[in-house]
Amino acid sequence: MDTSVNKNLDTQEMHVALGDMPTDEFRKFGHQLVDWVADYLDTVEQKPVLPSIHPGDIIRSLPSLPPQTGEPMQQILADVDRIIMPGMTHWNHPRFHAYFNSSASGPGILGELLSAGLNANGMVWKSCPAVSELEEVTLGWLRQMLGLPKEYWGMILDTASTSTLHGIAAARESLTDLKTRERGMAGRSELPRLRVYLSDFAHSSVEKAVITLGFGMDGMRKVAVDEKFCMRPEALAEAIAQDRRDGMRPFCVVATVGTTSCTSIDPIPAIADICEREKIWLHVDAAYGGSAAIVPEMRWVLEGCDRADSFVVNPHKWMFVPVDLSVLYTRKPDIMRRAFSLVPEYLRTAHDDVVHNLMDYGVPLGRRFRALKLWFVLRYFGWDGLAARLREHLRIAQVFKHWVEADPDFEVLAPVHFGAVCFRAHPKGTDDEVVLNKLNEDLINAVNGSRETFLSHTKLGTRYTIRMVIGHLKTRESHAHQVWEQMQNELKKLLP
Ligand SMILES: *Cc1c(COP(=O)(O)O)cnc(C)c1O
């Protein structure tokens, strides 16, 4: 055998060719990239929020063939500036007011960096004790900050959509007599139709979960809302009673604290009464609105949530944690575990009786060290610091609401409980709804067309509604005022 080949393998060059990026290079580009991000955060406000780009532009600027040989880091980073940045919608911009914004704070970004560096996988306690235990501790802190009861046990998932899927799966598992875990649902004529209840304003992720879990669209019943877009408890009780009479099996209600469309709050205490009486699982979706409860005077928004069976909140929405990080709490972790636990031999450990193995409570086996970024954010800002920042957003939203109310050409369309203001232009004398819808669509397009800000819309009833969401860490009243002035100016241009 020719050993000269092996000898060559031992040279420095081959180490470079086979191993990772050399430490010096990592350090150099690491520092450079941190500087880049720091400059970005410092100057993002001077950039347009929205890119000026056509579909396919980025794809066309990148090679269709994979890189055959390695490329220098400088070149890759240069392409970030040249190709990627022009395609960015700047979520981390203080005038990003669309959807529910998400801020990546300094400590959150550093937590994300550390978690990538450590690259631990917390599928079971043994696979990385720090992942499991830090998750337990941070979620215990968050639970206390939200004023939720001690029995609530939590785990981190990627998104609220996944959290809600788990909540509804546990609701199904709570119907022990049906044995759906063992026997499934297909081909069982004796199985009653199972029903989940939600309002028209529930997030689409609830419907996706219902579809995914095999209940079908017919397994879902929409409950009427009142004039403030909140689920009507009497309508819920009636729907349940009617379904029972029709031989169906009501098993889960999904109520929302802070609906995506207009941040309405379903009456949780009354809904919890019904769920307790009817022995139905209550899942509360507080993906956005839940965070507000860390502000002591906003605790009321979670009234009754201590009675929910499962509850989701997204720190990646309004708690300055970079995407993604959703938290699912449940007072019945044993049922969650019964729904999902499946332990192959290679994952059995000696500690299984004394620790939570997080893989037992949900679909994912692998688990990123997401708790690190939450831990950094909670510690760096502290409860008071986070509450002060949310309180300021709440204040700016009220100020914005007053500007809208004070202008005879505009009107507020939904109560403002959180950081979102739903409103529209409604100039005097223009009362045709079709005309108004077109006018408001033109208005939001004109405002977003400037790329100086980004707002999104919804429909409330038949009304085209503009949503202004204040929730970015760096948004000040002056930013909101710029948007408001722009809104007024664009309306003037659109009116005859
Ligand atoms: C944003 C939102 C969701 C979905 O959140 P993801 O984390 O993106 O899945 C669900 N429910 C409500 C009320 C939301 O606002």
Residue 84 DSSP symbol? I
| 350 and 396 co-located in one domain | no
What is the distance between the alpha carbons of residues 163 and 158, in angstroms, rounded to a whole number?
8
Pocket test for ligand 1, best of 210, 260, 311 (most atoms within 8 A of CB): 260
Q: Is the CB of 163 under 6 A from ligand 1?
A: no
Do 279 and 421 belong together in one domain?
Answer: no
Within-domain flag for 74: no
- Give the range of the structural domain holding residue 391, as residue numbers without chain letter: 379-494
Supply the pLDDT for residue 178. 96
**pLDDT of 1:** 46
Q: pLDDT band at 439, cuts 50/70/90?
A: very high
b/e sequence 129-143, b meaning 16+ C-beta within 10 Å: eebbebbbebbeebb
Q: How far is the CA of 234 from the centre of ligand 1 (A)?
A: 26
- Is 317 within a domain? yes
- Which residues neighbour 253 within 8 Å (Cβ) at sequence distance 6 or greater? 196, 197, 198, 236, 271, 274, 275, 280, 281, 282, 283
- In this predicted structure, the answer to whether residue 345 has a pLDDT above a threshold of 80 is no
Query: Which distant-in-sequence residues (6+ apart) come within 8 Å of 413 by Cβ?
Result: 262, 422, 423, 424, 460, 463, 465
Query: Does 20 fall in a domain?
Result: no
For ligand 1, atom 4: residue with the closest CA:
160
Task: Determine whether the shortest distance from the Cβ of 291 to ligand 1 is under 6 A.
Answer: no
Do 430 and 281 have their domain in common? no
Three-state SS letters, 307-349: HCCEEEECHHHHCCCCCCCEEEEECCHHHHHHHHCCCCHHHCC
Strand-pair partners of 253: 197, 282
Rounded to the nearest whole angstrom, what is the distance from the C-alpha of residue 312 to the centroid of ligand 1?
A: 9
For residue 81, tell me if it sits in a domain.
no
Nearest atom (ligand 1) to Cα of 260: 15
In this structure, the strands spanning 410-412 and 220-223 are unpaired
Task: Report if residue 342 sits inside a domain.
Answer: yes
Q: Are 248 and 287 members of one domain? A: yes
Choice from 159, 264, 268 to test ligand 1 binding pocket (greatest atom count within 8 A of CB): 159
The CATH number covering residue 157 comes to 3.40.640.10
- Which CATH number belongs to the domain containing residue 412 in this structure? 3.90.1150.10
Q: Is the CB of 266 under 6 A from ligand 1?
A: no
Q: What per-residue confidence (pLDDT) applies to 174?
A: 98
Q: Is the CB of 465 under 6 A from ligand 1?
A: no
The answer to whether 199 and 254 have CB atoms below 8 angstroms apart is no
Residue 245 placed within a domain: yes
Distance from the alpha carbon of residue 441 to the mean position of ligand 1, in angstroms: 24
Q: CA 195 from chain center: how many Å?
A: 25
Task: Reply yes or no on whether the pLDDT at 78 is more than 60.
Answer: yes
The burial of 218, by beta-carbon neighbours within 10 Å (0-12 exposed, 13-18 middle, 19 or more buried), is given as exposed
Instruction: Please give the distance, rounded to the nearest whole angstrom, from the Cα atom of residue 287 to the centre of ligand 1.
Output: 5
Structure tokens that stand for 133 in this block: 């235990």
Residue 13 pLDDT more than 50? yes
Helix (H), strand (E), coil (C) string for 194-236: EEEEEECCCCHHHHHHHHHCCCCHHHEEEECECCCCCECHHHH
Give the max Cα distance, the chain: 94
Q: State which of 204, 288, 301 you would mutate to test the pocket of ligand 1, scoring each by most atoms of that ligand within 8 A of its C-beta.
A: 288
Report CA-CA distances (Å) from 385 to 41, 62, 390: 20, 43, 9
150, 266: one domain: yes
Q: Does ligand 1 lie within 6 Å of residue 161's CB atom?
A: yes
Q: Is 418 in the pocket of ligand 1 (CB under 6 A)?
A: no
What pLDDT score was predicted for residue 102? 92
Tell me, yes or no, whether 168 and 189 share the same domain: yes
256, 352: one domain: yes
Instruction: State the DSSP code for 484.
Output: H
254: CA distance to ligand 1 center in Å?
Answer: 13
Q: Into how many domains does the chain fold?
A: 2
Compute CA distances 58 → 51, 82, 442, whole Å. 12, 10, 28
In a shared domain, residues 277 and 160? yes
pLDDT at 71 over 70: yes
pLDDT beyond 60 at 87: yes
306 and 431 share a domain? Answer: no
- Tell me the sheet residues that pair with 412: 423
Final residue before a domain boundary, out of 331, 347, 367: 367
Tokens read off for 180: 């759906």
Asked if residue 375 has pLDDT above 70, the reply is yes
Q: Is residue 21 part of a domain?
A: no
Rounded mean pLDDT of 335-355?
84
Q: What is the mean pLDDT of residues 362-386?
A: 97
Domain annotation covers residue 228:
yes
Residues 410 and 334 in one domain: no
**Domain final residue, candidates 319, 344, 367:** 367
Q: Alpha carbon of 102 to those of 288, 325, 429, 470, 475: distances in Å?
A: 10, 11, 38, 10, 12
- Of 347, 367, 387, which residue is a domain's last? 367
Helix, strand, or coil (residue 154): strand
- Per-residue pLDDT of 291-319, as tens digits, reads 999 999 999 999 999 999 999 999 999 99
321-343 residue pLDDT tens: 999 999 999 999 999 999 999 87
Are 346 and 411 members of one domain?
Answer: no
* CA 329–ligand 1 middle distance (angstroms): 15
Q: Is 287 in the pocket of ligand 1 (CB under 6 A)?
A: yes
Q: Hey, what are 215's tokens? A: 């209940």
Same domain, 344 and 426: no
Strand, helix or coil at 424? strand
Q: How many CA atoms lie within 13 A of 139 on its CB side?
A: 26
448 lines ligand 1 (CB under 6 A): no
Is there an atom of ligand 1 within 6 Å of 285 CB? yes
Distance CA 283, CA 156 (A): 16
State the distance from the centre of ligand 1 to the C-alpha of 164, rounded, in angstroms.
9
Are 338 and 76 contacting, i.e. CB atoms less than 8 angstroms apart? no
* Contact status, residue 194 vs residue 215, Cβ threshold 8 Å: yes
